[in-house]
Amino acid sequence: MLPDWQNLSLKEQIGQMVVVRASGHLFDHQIRYPTWEPPAAKLRSWLQDLNLGGVILLGGSAPELALRVEQLQNWANLPLLVAADIEEGVGQWFEGATQFPPPMALGAIFAQNPAVAAQYARKMGAITAQESIALGINWILAPVVDVNNNPDNPVINVRSFASNPTTVSHLAAAFIEGTKYYPVLTTAKHFPGHGDTSTDSHLDLPILPHSEERLSEVELPPFIKAIAAGVDSVMSAHVLIPTWDQHHPATLSAPILTGQLRQRLGFEGLIVTDALVMGGITKHTSAKEIAIMAVAAGADILLMPQDPEMAIDAVYGAVQSGRLSIEIIHNSLERIWRTKNKVIYTNSILNLSKNLIRPESRYAAAEIVKASMLTGGDLPLKLGKSNQKRRNLIIVDDLLNCNFLHRHVPAVTIPQKLGYQVQLADQNNVILEQNPPDKTLLQLFIRGNPFRGKAGLNLPTQELIQKLLNRGSIEGLILYGSPYVLDWLRGEMPPNLPWTFSYGQMPMAQAIACESFFGLSDLAEEQYETFL
């Protein structure tokens, strides 16, 4: 059990309400995001001198992460909450662990067979929780319960289970139920809903202009279901909802966090802000005011403030001046202590060999990839004359930021064995060609992601695809990621053109998609087994 929080000074109590970003790597020279991830000396000082409550980690291999968590826990004065944005399994950000396709893959299965989809969601939750505990992560920042009914949503997109609240509600609850076998926390996000927006809150403040009736029918039901399923925390959205608060985004709104979430929905767990370095909130007011207003609104955890020491000082000063009541701080500490005692001392590197990585976990991910995959046209592709020049044109959103694409992945190696020469491009440098090769296999890795500001194909990419289709140069297409892009492509392609769609972009999904597309089970099986 934790020592009594009432023995802490007021500043130490407030420090427990702050969670900072840290690299999952062990060494400073490995840090990839220095703007957000402090070097070791500063991070150690923060944990010890400010008595911070937790960290959110990104990056590193799974075994490295286990050592990193052990290091951070040893630095801290009190046991830490260790969080990660692992919406698609631990392997989404930590190499070697299991990665699932994005949640919308489960939504696609649900449309055909709800019972099977719910079973997969429970299994995904259980595997994510089991691997998290093995590595020292005790706080899963998932599931996303936003209803993505806006195809142009650049940031939620396939991170959502579906475009309707019924599907989202059932699958989110099933995921949460699956985690209950392990002492790990879950998070429903982003309250009260970020699905029907066309603005990325990492960059600017979205507005959700809906009525009370519409919010009650679409946005709120998945949160209600998640709370009933026992979700431990709810993350706020940096979204303005004039129906409930005309002046403040949800993260800074007492009518929304306290009025709607606490009082109307009866949620008694932790309320955590979305990252306080995001443009949707930093453009609203100063960093000091953000910290004070979030606590006043009802947030228990301030996630990634721009400067944790400044945030703590700001909240401390607001209590001293009477702007914030001491009861608000004490109520948050009660909730934090109750939550920490649920997961404390459960994480140990000794769990690593026993729980990470079990073959059946990766086979479960493969089953979801297969069950959600779509195909069309004259499949499998029948290769023509060998003297024709063939290229494997792979287009991604950003070549400098795609961890699913390397020289050895199936999207490259399988077509290579069939005589295709690889050509890579991203949407920032696609050019219209004068003399394309005789035949093009087009592979697109396109989906919504934070900080991109867009979710689909840009105009130059659309023009290139249309030009190649008009010339008859494209002999087949494999799309990984967004079903909304598939909708556009199906309106442009001839009906007999072979195509395969996979929600997943990781190497395992590539192997499965290529196996289906080329009908080369023997060739793909070796690749497939390699990535299982």
List residues with catalytic annotation: 202, 274
Asked if residue 303 lies in contact with residue 273, where contact means CB atoms within 8 angstroms, the answer is yes
Asked if residue 239 lies in contact with residue 205, where contact means CB atoms within 8 angstroms, the answer is yes
d(Cα 58, Cα 32) in Å, to the nearest integer? Answer: 9
Q: Report the SS3 class of residue 182.
A: coil
d(Cα 365, Cα 426) in Å, to the nearest integer? Answer: 27
Buried b (16+ CB within 10 A) or exposed e, 395-420: bbbeeeebebbeeebbbbbbbeebeb
Asked if residue 101 lies in contact with residue 372, where contact means CB atoms within 8 angstroms, the answer is yes
d(Cα 128, Cα 146) in Å, to the nearest integer? Answer: 20
Going by C-alpha positions, the residue among 496, 438, 444 that lies closest to residue 465 is 444
Chain center to CA of 439? 36
Give whole-number Cα distances, 330 to 8, 293, 334, 336, in Å: 11, 16, 6, 10
Going by C-alpha positions, the residue among 66, 56, 68 that lies closest to residue 30 is 68
Residue with tokens 């035949």: 439
Spell out the alpha helix ranges (H) of 195-276.
212-214, 221-228, 254
d(Cα 140, Cα 89) in Å, to the nearest integer? Answer: 9
Write the single-letter amino acid at 306.
Q
Give whole-number Cα distances, 17 to 57, 124, 355, 465, in Å: 17, 29, 31, 50
Query: What are the tokens at 271?
Result: 């309320």
Give whole-number Cα distances, 289 to 37, 144, 295, 407, in Å: 22, 27, 10, 48
Asked if residue 17 lies in contact with residue 300, where contact means CB atoms within 8 angstroms, the answer is yes
Tell me the longest C-alpha to C-alpha distance in the chain. Answer: 81
d(Cα 334, Cα 339) in Å, to the nearest integer? Answer: 9
DSSP, res 201: T
Asked if residue 117 lies in contact with residue 175, where contact means CB atoms within 8 angstroms, the answer is no
Query: What are the tokens at 135?
Result: 């590595």
Give whole-number Cα distances, 443 to 35, 311, 499, in Å: 33, 46, 10
